[in-house]
Amino acid sequence: MASRVAIGPDFQENLMDQQFTVTGMTCGHCEMSVKRAIQQLDAQAEVVIDRAKNSVEVRHPSQPREALASAIREEGYAVAP
């Protein structure tokens, strides 16, 4: 009998790495807040932040770009369109 393997959210295909321009991060605590907000939404994502460049990179995310941007905005930081 043919059977199908269920594919859950943890096994989605990796999406492309995403880079965001995020303003309002003024210190290391802000960086941690942004990182935590993204990882609460997307536990498998690696978050690389360069605050001097207002840059937030999300590597191998499982969530779409818009969802990642929303998580950052909900944390209180501005994401450039």
Contacts with Cu ion by CB under 5 A lie at: 26-27, 29-30
Minimal distance in Å, beta carbon 72 to Cu ion?
14
**In angstroms, rounded to a whole number, what is the distance separating the alpha carbons of residues 8 and 79?**
29
Please identify, using beta-carbon distances, which residue of 4 and 29 lies nearer to Cu ion: 29
Please identify, using beta-carbon distances, which residue of 29 and 53 lies nearer to Cu ion: 29
Minimal distance in Å, beta carbon 24 to Cu ion?
9
Question: Which tokens hold the place of 12?
Answer: 């989605």
Minimal distance in Å, beta carbon 29 to Cu ion?
4
Q: Cβ(31)–Cβ(44) under 8 Å?
A: no
**In angstroms, rounded to a whole number, what is the distance separating the alpha carbons of residues 72 and 76?**
7
